[in-house]
Amino acid sequence: MSVHEPACGADAPSLRPSLGVVQGIGVALSMVVGSGLLILPGIGVGLVGAAAIHAWWINALLTLPLLLLFAKLGARYPTAGGVAGFAEAAFGYRAGRATEALLIGACLPGAAAIGLSGGSYIAAFFGLPPSAETWVGLAVLAVATLVNLGGAQIAGSVQSLMTFGLIALLGVLAAVALAGPQVDIAAGLTAASPLAALPALGALFFAFTGWELFCSTAEEFRQPRRDFPLALAGAFLAMLVLYVGIALAVQLRLDPSDPALLRAPVAALAGNLFGPWAEKTVAALGATMILLALIGGLWGASRLIFSAAREGLLPQALSRVGPSGVPRRAVLTFGLLAVASLLTARLMGWNTAMLFELSAQNFLGGYLAALLAGLRLLKGLPARLALVGLTLGFGAFLGSFGATLAYAALSLGLGYWLAPSKRG
């Protein structure tokens, strides 16, 4: 039985295929582009100064071969489990469930971080104090949950139209910022050694996560073998150009001592170029993009909840699908978990940088699981040699997170321990 066939017989719940290439690109971009683009350029400069631009392209190079692997495996195993489905196909049932738990564990601090980022941009737009960011972030999570309850067709259309428009506007902003006669792009790219960017790789890697969540939507493509890889490729190219452009513009245009660098750097960039009205406008656009990122992230995460319930890791009631084809109980469950994660982060005093790092390390663990699955599932010596090299490299990268890896180990261990010994 292939991994995307019904897990427990012909009556097992399944998701309704409704996505094409264009909608798929919109969904992928909304899952990846969002708070990573709007917050992390400033965090990178704060961590390593002028070397920050190198962290962006290094992370892009690290991500590219993984996307090629995701495209191949996603087309072959189109399942709501995504990377967990790949792990199950390669190593068995419990390995799949452990990977699902690892990725659900990545989504929780990630959703909290994105919610807080949305709160900061909306607070900047209305001139609210930082203390209001938590409550605004909770409202953003609630709106994202409600949109997802409308179904894949509605959420996908909303994401595609708004994401394409907002990305186009931010692309224009980056182009204008870099086109000024006083901007020396070559100097910005060579001002520091790429080695100096290494301390920022972990935090900025969050901007390149979300692809594993996109793998969880493969079951909802009408023609996954053809359309899923095309959507993945189109989204990556658009993301790469936008990320490097915005990151370089923030780095070259903003003063490193500007407090807005860590709070709302892209809005500050617009204000630097066009005045206070533009800063307000981009703050509103930023909040919208973060909302889209939450809609996309909650979509993928809720499908992980759905898959984990369908496969026996979580209560089976969470795998129920209504007439609209939406796993509404899974959507609501993750929405509530995301709210709890944001409140916990505030009570514990964790900042967004720490939440991004916790999320990134679990996602990186999911990438490592996909690489190991590829080693088991794909044939051919060149492919296997490349996967061995990538596995060793990503393993070393994961080890650089240090003590916070205890969270990833806990997520993985709980998934393996709580999973039944075999599928019911």
What integer pLDDT is reported at residue 74 of this predicted model?
82
**Mean local confidence (pLDDT), 246-268:** 81
Q: Answer yes or no: are the C-beta atoms of 30 and 295 closer than 8 Å.
A: yes
Spell out the residues 6+ positions from residue 351 whose beta carbon is closer than 8 angstroms to its own. Answer: none
**Mean local confidence (pLDDT), 286-296:** 75
What integer pLDDT is reported at residue 115 of this predicted model?
87
**Mean local confidence (pLDDT), 245-253:** 87
More confidently predicted of 258 and 15: 258
pLDDT in tens, 70-103: 888 888 877 766 788 889 889 998 998 999 899 9
- 414: pLDDT strictly greater than 80: yes
What integer pLDDT is reported at residue 363 of this predicted model?
87
Q: Answer yes or no: are the C-beta atoms of 234 and 20 closer than 8 Å.
A: no
pLDDT in tens, 168-189: 878 888 888 888 777 777 777 7
* Confidence class for position 383, pLDDT limits 50, 70, 90: confident
* pTM, 2 dp: 0.70
Q: How far apart are CA 22 and CA 4, in angstroms?
A: 23
Angle between helices 93-126 and 133-149 (to 10 degrees): 130
Per-domain residue ranges of the chain: 21-418
pLDDT in tens, 387-410: 898 899 888 888 888 888 999 999
User: Domain spanning 21-418: which superfamily?
Assistant: Amino acid/polyamine transporter I (1.20.1740.10)
Sign of the Cα pseudo-torsion (84, 89, 90, 91, in order): positive
What integer pLDDT is reported at residue 11 of this predicted model?
54
* CB neighbours of residue 340 within 10 Å: 13
Please give the distance of CA 237 from its chain centroid, rounded to a whole number.
16
What integer pLDDT is reported at residue 4 of this predicted model?
41
Mean pLDDT of the residues in the chain = 82
Give the closest residue to 243 by CA, choosing from 60, 107, 395, 389.
60
CA angle, 75 then 366 then 225, to 5°: 5
pLDDT in tens, 9-61: 445 566 667 788 888 887 788 777 765 677 788 888 888 888 888 999 899 88
* SS3 labels along the chain: CCCCCCCCCCCCCCCCCCECHHHHHHHHHHHHCCHHHHHHHHHHHHHHHHHHHHHHHHHHHHHHHHHHHHHHHHHHCCCCCCHHHHHHHHHCHHHHHHHHHHHHHHHHHHHHHHHHHHHHHHHHHHCCCHHHHHHHHHHHHHHHHHHHHCCHHHHHHHHHHHHHHHHHHHHHHHHHHHHCCCCCHHHHHHCCCHHHHHHHHHHHHHHHCCHHHHHCCHHHECCHHHHHHHHHHHHHHHHHHHHHHHHHHHHHHCCCCCCHHHHCHHHHHHHHHHCHHHHHHHHHHHHHHHHHHHHHHHHHHHHHHHHHHHCCCCCHHHHCCCCCCCCHHHHHHHHHHHHHHHHHHHHHCCCHHHHHHHHHHHHHHHHHHHHHHHHHHCCCHHHHHHHHHHHHHHHHHHHCCHHHHHHHHHHHHHHHHHCCCCCC
Six-digit token string for 240: 């790469």
Q: How far apart are CA 160 and CA 25, in angstroms?
A: 7
Q: Which of 285-289, 331-335, 380-384 has the highest mean predicted lDDT (pLDDT)?
A: 331-335
Q: What proportion of the chain, given as a percentage, has pLDDT over 90?
A: 12
Q: Answer yes or no: are the C-beta atoms of 244 and 233 closer than 8 Å.
A: no
* Confidence class for position 162, pLDDT limits 50, 70, 90: low
| Buried/exposed code over 37-48 (b: 16+ C-beta within 10 A; e: otherwise) | bbbbbbbbbbbb
What integer pLDDT is reported at residue 271 of this predicted model?
83
**Mean local confidence (pLDDT), 300-308:** 86
